[in-house]
Amino acid sequence: MSDGNPETINRQWLLKRRPHGMVSEDDFEYRETPLPEPDLAAGEILVRNLYLGFDPAMRGWMTDARSYIPPVPLGEPMRAVAVAEVIASENPAYPTGSLVQGLYGWQDYAVARPDDPVPPMALPEGTPPTMPLSILGMTSLTAYFGLLDVGQPQAGETVLVSGAAGATGSVVVQIAKIKGCRVVGIAGGEEKCQWVRDSCGADAVIDYHSENVTARLGELCPDGINVFFDNVGGEILEAGIEHIADFGRIVLCGQIAAYNDAEPRPGPHNMMYLVARRVRMQGFIVMDYLDRMDEAMHDLMTWMGEGRLAWREDIQEGFENIPATLLRLYDGRNQGKQLLKLAEPSTPG
């Protein structure tokens, strides 16, 4: 593997095949191609990726099923969010040397156009280059709209968050606390549970590695769960339904427990509770809230400025480690938002 001579070579990890069951490094193929044409059309920019972001939902993009976004084509670079530096520009909105965010994929370089499905997002000068991928990234926006718009928590209500140590879940915990709720988190392992409790401010945390989640929920939520923000699905979703309160809301953000299943697993056996308890269970996709991003960013930056948001970044390095870094999400090894660093900005950010 080349070191990625920025003058001549574009390293890429292509999606080689659609995974069956757990995604593996063998599902990807390494390739070196020439640097994309520097002969840009009007409006285009050439970017160099600095940081890649990883999210559990990427497993879904690899599958050839109808979804909210088309699957990654086989033989193309794996789709991924990245913060990149503009190194050539035919677009005054994105000057050379500035930072942008977009779906630039698992490669060193990409050409971006204003009419891309996700247009390049210019980052304000001085933005730390990891922040748009972590605390000011899509995962925080997901937390914001999922909790507040779909979950509709009221002060004093009990909010349950699964995947509470994750990039989305940890922000849900903290926004729910800011809104005056009592918050119970579910996470895997003592280290993560401690962080959710001590740094994110959850009132209680259940360690699903060592505790019986259903039993603990019964103890911790004797009056039921008003809002359940679920990132996990499977048995964790079933446990939450078991203790959902009358008129409870279940925010379906994702089902990481099931993303890598080769065969579909049974759903919750206790769906009848949704009727008797008049529960609203609702899925959502953050991309549907694009027109309200400003509102969320304003609140998130205000809370950051007030020191009310904790977050962690798990930064791996090395182009060769990109596929392995994705796998860290599915065995829970990541400690905080999973990133991978490819390069430093050529000019101080």
Cross-strand partners of 337: 313
153 versus 268: smaller Cβ distance to a second copy: 268
- Give the shortest CB-274-to-a second copy separation in angstroms: 4
What values do phi and psi take at 141, rounded to 5?
A: -65, -40
Q: Between 185 and 234, name the residue whose CB sits nearer to a second copy.
A: 234
Nearer to a second copy, 267 or 318 (CB): 267
Q: How many Å separate Cα 263 from the centre of its chain?
A: 24
Nearer to a second copy, 96 or 154 (CB): 154
- Taking the complex as a whole, how short is the minimal distance between the CB of residue 225 and a second copy, in angstroms? 14
Task: Reduce the DSSP state of residue 190 to 3 states and report it.
Answer: helix
52 or 167, CB closer to a second copy? 167
Cβ–Cβ < 8 Å for 137, 143? no
Of residues 243 and 312, the one with the C-beta less far from a second copy: 243
Which CB atom, from 271 or from 301, has the smaller least distance to a second copy? 271
Q: Which of 243, 242, 256, 248 is nearest to 162 (CA)?
A: 256
Element (H, E) at 299: helix 293-305
Measured CA distances, 278 to 12, 82, 156, 245 (Å): 49, 41, 20, 9
For residue 251, the 8-state DSSP code is: E
Shortest distance in whole angstroms from residue 250 CB to a second copy: 9
Q: Which two tokens stand for residue 22?
A: 């757990």
- What span, in angstroms and rounded, lies between the C-alpha atoms of 265 and 6? 45
Question: To the nearest whole angstrom, how small is the minimum distance from the Cβ of residue 194 to a second copy?
Answer: 29
Instruction: Specify the residue, 76 or 247, whose C-beta has the smaller distance to a second copy.
Output: 247
Residue 79: CB minimum distance to a second copy, A: 15
Give the nearest distance from C-beta 35 to a second copy in angstroms. Answer: 36
In the bound complex, what is the minimum distance in angstroms from residue 336's beta carbon to a second copy? 23
In the complex, least distance from residue 293 CB atom to a second copy, rounded to whole angstroms: 17
Q: Are 72 and 98 in contact (CB under 8 A)?
A: no
Helices (H), 62-204: 138-145, 167-178, 190-198
What is the rounded CA–CA span in Å between residue 262 and residue 23?
10
Nearer to a second copy, 20 or 333 (CB): 20
Output the smallest distance, CB 149 to a second copy, in A: 12
Output the six-digit token pair for 261.
Answer: 């299943």
Q: Which positions lie near a second copy, rule CB under 8 A? A: 60, 66-68, 233, 237-238, 246, 252-255, 258, 264-285, 288
Tell me if 87 sits within 8 A of 306, measured CB to CB.
no
Are residues 129 and 51 in contact, defined by beta-carbon separation less than 8 angstroms?
A: yes
Angstrom distance (rounded) from CA 265 to CA 32: 39
Residue (30 or 284) nearer to a second copy, CB:
284
φ and ψ at residue 212, rounded to 5 degrees: -80, 110
The least distance separating a second copy from the CB of residue 141, rounded to whole angstroms, comes to 15
DSSP secondary structure of 57-84: THHHHTS-S--SSPPPPTTSBPP--EEE
